[in-house]
Amino acid sequence: MTPIRVLIVDDSALVRQTLSDVLRSDPEIEIMATAGDPFIAAERIRERVPDVILLDVEMPRMDGITFLQTIMSQHPIPVVICSSLSERGSETALRALEYGAVDIVTKPKLATHQFLRESRQMLCDVVRAASTARMRVIQQVGPALTADAVLSPASCSAMARTTEKVVLIGASTGGTEALRVLLQAMPADAPGTVIVQHMPEKFTTAFAARLDGLCAVNVREAENGDTVLRGHALIAAGNRHLLLKRSGARYLVEVRDGPPVRRHRPSVDVLFRSGARYAGRNAVGVLMTGMGDDGARGLLELKQAGAYTIAQDEATCVVFGMPREAIRLGAAARVLPLPAIAAAMLEACE
C-alpha cells in the first residue's frame, strides 16, 4: 500500500515535531515534509504534491485561511485544520470548513502525554479519511467501545405514545456544511431536533452560533436538561455525550460524561440508542457524511424501535463511511441525496 503523504504546516517547530511523531505511529502515513509558514509550504508542494495537508490557522507572513483559499482555487488538496481551542481560533477554523477544509483537529497540548494517548488514533483516522474520501472503506484499527459503555439497550416494550415528533441527526467528517444545508431547508416551526456532530471541545459553541445566524430554526449548544422544542435544534457539546430523555410528553436532553464510543465523544450511537429507548416510532433518525461507523448500529436500533430512518447517499457525502455501514446493516429506510433529506424528514414527521 502506498503511504499517505502528509505535509504539516505550523509556525511552531515543537507542534510540527509532535504531530510528526503522532502520525508516524501509523504505518499507512508518511510525513512528506513540514513547513513553518505557507510560503515554505508552497515550495514543498511544488516539489511534491501531498495527499493531505495539516494546516495551522494563525501563522506569520500568511494566515492559514488565505493559504487554504489559494490551495482550493489553484490545486485542491485535502486540508485538515489544526487549531487551538480559543474562541477566536474556533470561529476562524469553522470558517475554514466553509472554504473547503475537510475537518478540524485540536492542536497538540504540549508537554503532556495525555494528548498523545487520547488523540493518536483520532488524528490518524482523520488523516486517512481526508486522503480517501469516498474512494475506499475507512478501516477501524483496534478495539472500539459500543453504546453499551454509556447506555444499556432499549427494551422491547415501548413507552406510552405521544404525538410530538423529534428528529435525531448524526454526522462527522463533512457534516458541518451538510448540517448547514439541511438546517437551512427547515422551516421555523420544524420538529425539535437533536444533533451530534463530531467536533473538538469548545468548537461547538461557535458552530451552533454560526448556524443560528443562517437558519430559520434556533440553533444552540445543548445544556443538560434543555427541553426539545419545535423550531429549535440542540447540538452536542464537544467531548460530552448527548442523550434524549422523556418526562411525560416532554422530550429533554441529558449531557453526560462517559468513555468514547466508536472512538467518539459525543457519539451518534449513544444519541440514537437513547432515541430508540425514549422516542421509538416518534423519532426520525438521519445519519450523514462521516468516517468510520459511529451511528450505524444506533440507526438500526432506531429503525427496530419503529423510527423512520434516513441515510445520506454516497454521491453527496464527503466521506461515505457512517452511512455506508448503516445501509449495509439495513438500518436506513431511505437513502437520499443531501438536498432531499429535509423534505423527507419533515414529511415523515407529519
- Categorize the per-residue pLDDT at 111 as very low, low, confident or very high, splitting at 50, 70 and 90: low
What is the number of alpha carbons within 13 Å of residue 314 lying toward its C-beta? 10
First to last CA, the chain: 50
Q: Which of 10, 125, 294, 313 is catalytic?
A: 294
- Categorize the per-residue pLDDT at 151 as very low, low, confident or very high, splitting at 50, 70 and 90: low
What CATH topology corresponds to 162-349? Rossmann fold (3.40.50)
pLDDT at 139: 35
Give the whole-angstrom CA distance, residue 133 versus residue 3. Answer: 15
Mean pLDDT is lowest, of 38-47, 143-152, 173-182, 183-192, for 143-152
198 assigned to active site: yes
Q: Tell which residue, 151, 156, 161, 304, has the closest CA to residue 246.
A: 161
The CA-atom distances, in angstroms, between 39 and each of 9, 57, 120, 290 are 10, 14, 28, 32
Domain over 4-131 is classified CATH 3.40.50.2300: yes
pTM: 0.78
pLDDT at 113: 62
- Categorize the per-residue pLDDT at 135 as very low, low, confident or very high, splitting at 50, 70 and 90: very low
Domain with CATH 3.40.50.180 in the chain: 162-349
- 122-125 contacts: CB < 8 A, separation 24 or more? 122/263, 123/19, 123/22, 123/23, 124/22, 124/23, 124/25, 124/26, 124/28, 124/29, 125/263, 125/291, 125/292
- Residue 62 burial by CB count (10 A; 0-12/13-18/19+): exposed, middle or buried? middle
Domain with CATH 3.40.50.2300 in the chain: 4-131
Q: Which of 172, 241, 293, 313 is catalytic?
A: 172
Share of the chain above pLDDT 70, in %: 87
Neighbour-count burial for 293-325, b at 16+ CB within 10 Å, e otherwise: bbbbbbbbbbbebebbbbbbbeebbbbbbbbbb
Strand, helix or coil for residue 216: coil
Whether the per-residue pLDDT at 154 is higher than 80: the answer is no
- Categorize the per-residue pLDDT at 99 as very low, low, confident or very high, splitting at 50, 70 and 90: confident
Share of the chain above pLDDT 90, in %: 59
Angle between helices 113-131 and 13-24 (to 10 degrees): 70
Q: Which of 26, 83, 198, 293 is catalytic?
A: 198
* Alpha helix ranges (H) inside the chain: 13-24, 38-47, 64-74, 87-98, 113-131, 175-184, 203-212, 268-278, 296-304, 322-329, 338-349
